[in-house]
Amino acid sequence: MGGTRLARVVAAHGRHCLVEDESGQRTLCHPRGKKSAVVVGDIVAWQPSGDEGSIERIETRRNLFYRQDEMRTKAFAANLDQVLILLAAEPVFSEAQLTRALLAAEAEGISACIVLNKQDLGGPFDQAWARLEPYRRMGTPVLPLGLHDGHGLDALRQRLTGRHTLVLGPSGVGKSTLVNRLVPEAGAQTGEISRALNTGRHTTTATTWYWLEPARESALIDSPGFQEFGLHHLEAERLAQLMPDLRAALGDCRFYNCTHRHEPGCGVRAHVGADPSVDPLAIDQNRYRLYDELFDELSNKRTY
**79 Cβ contact list (under 8 Å, min separation 6):** 41, 42, 43, 61, 62, 63, 164
Interatomic CA distance for residues 239 and 289, integer angstroms: 13
CATH architecture under which domain 236-299 falls:
Orthogonal Bundle (1.10)
Select from 229, 238, 228, 248 the least CA-distant residue to 299.
Answer: 238
Q: Which residues are annotated as a binding site?
A: 117-120, 169-177, 253, 258, 260, 266
CA count, 13 A, side-chain hemisphere, 256: 0
Check: CB of residue 12 under 8 Å from CB of residue 34: no
pLDDT of amino acid 155: 96
Alpha helices in the chain (DSSP H): 95-107, 123-131, 133-137, 153-160, 175-182, 186-197, 239-242, 244-247, 285-299
Interatomic CA distance for residues 119 and 150, integer angstroms: 10
Whether 5-58 shares its CATH topology with 64-222 is answered no
pLDDT of amino acid 202: 44
Q: Which residues are annotated as a binding site for Zn(2+)?
A: 253, 258, 260, 266
Interatomic CA distance for residues 183 and 189, integer angstroms: 10
pLDDT of amino acid 296: 96
3-state secondary structure of 233: coil
Interatomic CA distance for residues 136 and 129, integer angstroms: 10
Interatomic CA distance for residues 220 and 175, integer angstroms: 11
Interatomic CA distance for residues 213 and 186, integer angstroms: 12
Interatomic CA distance for residues 144 and 141, integer angstroms: 10
pTM: 0.91
CA count, 13 A, side-chain hemisphere, 181: 17
Select from 69, 24, 18, 62 the least CA-distant residue to 40.
Answer: 18
User: Dihedral angle at the C-alpha atoms of 120, 126, 132, 138, nearest 10 degrees?
Assistant: 110
Residues in the chain, pLDDT under 70:
1-2, 34-36, 186-205, 302-304
The domain limits of the chain are: 5-58, 64-222, 236-299
pLDDT of amino acid 31: 85
Select from 100, 126, 128, 124 the least CA-distant residue to 112.
Answer: 100
Q: In the CATH hierarchy, which fold is given to the domain comprising 5-58? A: OB fold (Dihydrolipoamide Acetyltransferase, E2P) (2.40.50)
pLDDT of amino acid 192: 66
Select from 231, 289, 300, 301 the least CA-distant residue to 260.
Answer: 289
pLDDT of amino acid 176: 87
Tell me if the bond preceding 91 is cis, omega within 30° of 0: yes
Residues linked to residue 16 through DSSP beta bridges, in sequence order: 13
Task: Give the amino acid at 35.
Answer: K
**113 Cβ contact list (under 8 Å, min separation 6):** 82, 83, 84, 85, 140, 141, 142, 143, 159
Interatomic CA distance for residues 111 and 101, integer angstroms: 11
Query: What does CATH list as the number for 64-222?
Result: 3.40.50.300
Q: Which residues are annotated as a binding site for GTP?
A: 117-120, 169-177
